[in-house]
Amino acid sequence: MDKNAHNQIEIWLLDDDDIVRSTTAQWLRLSDYKVREFQEASDIIAHLSIGEPCIIVSDIRMEPMDGLTLMTHCLTQESELPFILITGHGDVDTAVNALRDGAFDFLEKPFDPNRLLQTVEKAIQLRKVQCQHANQSQYLGDIQGLEESIIGQHEQMIRVRHQIRTFASMDTHVIVYGKTGCGKELVARALHDCSPRSTQPFVAINCAAIPADLFESELFGHEAGSFTGANKKRVGKLEHASGGTLFLDEIESMPLAMQIKLLRVLQENQLERIGSNHTIKIDLRVVAAAKNDLQTLENFRQDLFFRLNVSQIHLPDLRCRGADIPLLFEHFCRLAVKERGGDVRQLSPIDHETLTLYGWPGNVRELRNVALRYALEPNTSVAKILAGYQAQDDIDTQSPLPLSVKVQEFERSLIEASIRQQKGNIQLVLEQLQLPRRTLNQKMQKYGLNRADYLN
């Protein structure tokens, strides 16, 4: 079990029978859950507020207010609050109807204690996702300045923002390390925007994308007639960036001959265009980006490394950033919805689990693309986007998704296919899948499947 979830989400247990309530509470506490006991429904109403980090477990038959009336009041205040009902034998039909009205689940007396633990754990995981979503939404709504471009609450990203603010005012060269897709250019732009050079050009060059025979012309420019095809004078990137910031992405790909020439420019603060004998004064700040430690590379000059290595910023892989993953996912979904219209969908627990368990080899860039598809395809899931829709006999064993996620996504796809095939007729779905009504309701809620999306 997720002990952190136990610490964050509290179980509010309501029963007017003191013995039943205290016995149930003791069992839950022995399983490391936080429990708050209530004797009357009015006490819960007095303490409940929107976004409360809790789930409610309530008996149905009570005086003066019964559990169903309390549930209606609570779900009117917050429709997503997980509400579990405890019923006597004669109340089962009533409880089944309550599932349609928004109850999370119900337990029939006398209930199996292990069944209780399973049910509250599922409810807690759902509430944990809901509360995290609310916190993320508040964070995304409150951020401003540097946090709007360098988003994240992970301690390493807080450190990165601190380094950006510090290094920006120092006006020194910086090396940014990070794997592909981590946001190195975003950091370089933030360094520029936070610096006194912000009103001057920001010029980005991907060193791996420039053919070796064009590199010198691209960086230094040339005079008309200096070589075949040079029909007119061209200002190079170094000269164009003067006064501002030059971003050299994948600098480890720069040819050795160009490394020597770049080093001289940085030492002397001047350059000559190809075909010219006149020197041009320049004022550059260089932000270089690399995937690996430049000092350890045989094909990278040590003297250039030491010239650039005034300050360093290290960006972590996305998979190491924990809670930042769903936070960034929601941010990218918001951007997609803002550009193309629609509503931002709240992640289901299985989608949330998939995001945090997936390895993200493409880092933030991959996450952004998945979020875009998720925002534009309302009936899909995160796991389906990552693994692709697969038939029963075509499961991708090479997928980086964990086995538990693969199994759940396959189950989700079968249920979704049946609901679509039966055009939202739940009774036909129950017959086709041979599932009890309560089990189907639980799984539809778990996987974020809404019957209304499949009606004619």
Per-residue tens of pLDDT for the chain, all 456 residues: 344 444 579 999 999 999 999 999 999 999 899 999 999 999 999 999 988 999 999 999 998 999 999 999 999 999 889 999 998 766 778 888 888 888 999 998 888 888 899 999 999 988 998 898 888 888 888 888 899 999 999 999 999 999 999 999 998 999 999 999 999 999 999 999 999 999 999 999 999 999 988 899 999 988 876 777 777 888 999 999 999 999 999 999 999 999 999 999 999 999 999 888 899 999 999 999 999 999 999 999 999 999 999 999 999 999 999 889 999 999 999 999 888 877 788 888 888 888 888 889 899 999 999 999 999 887 788 888 887 634 333 444 445 566 666 677 777 777 887 887 788 888 888 888 888 887 888 788 777 777 777 776
DSSP 8-state secondary structure symbol assigned to residue 320: G
Task: Identify the pLDDT of residue 5.
Answer: 40
Give, for 108, the enclosing helix (H) or strand (E): strand 105-108
Helices 426-433/437-446 angle, 10° precision: 100
- Bridge partners (DSSP) listed for residue 289: 176
**Cα dihedral sign for 202, 207, 208, 209?**
positive
Task: Identify the pLDDT of residue 84.
Answer: 95
Task: Identify the pLDDT of residue 401.
Answer: 62
Going from the C-alpha of 340 to that of each of 66, 344, 415, the distances in angstroms are: 46, 11, 29
**Cα dihedral sign for 207, 210, 212, 217?**
negative
Map out the domains of the chain as residue ranges.
3-142, 155-315, 319-454
Helices (H), 58-183: 67-77, 92-100, 113-142, 155-170
The SS3 assignment for 45 reads helix
**Cβ atoms 103, 84 nearer than 8 A:** yes
**Cα dihedral sign for 419, 420, 424, 427?**
negative
The set of long-range contacts for 139-144, using a CB threshold of 8 Å and a minimum separation of 24, is 139/327, 140/327, 140/330, 140/331, 140/334
Task: Identify the pLDDT of residue 6.
Answer: 43
On whether the 155-315 domain is CATH 3.30.70.260, my answer is no
Record the tokens describing residue 103, joined without a space.
């109850």
Please state which of the four CATH numbers 3.30.980.10, 3.40.50.9100, 3.40.50.2300, 3.40.462.20 is assigned to the domain occupying 3-142: 3.40.50.2300
**Cβ atoms 315, 182 nearer than 8 A:** yes
Task: Identify the pLDDT of residue 395.
Answer: 42
Rounded to whole angstroms, the Cα distance separating 387 from 391 reads 12
**Cβ atoms 52, 79 nearer than 8 A:** no
Q: Does this chain's domain 3-142 share its CATH topology with 155-315?
A: yes
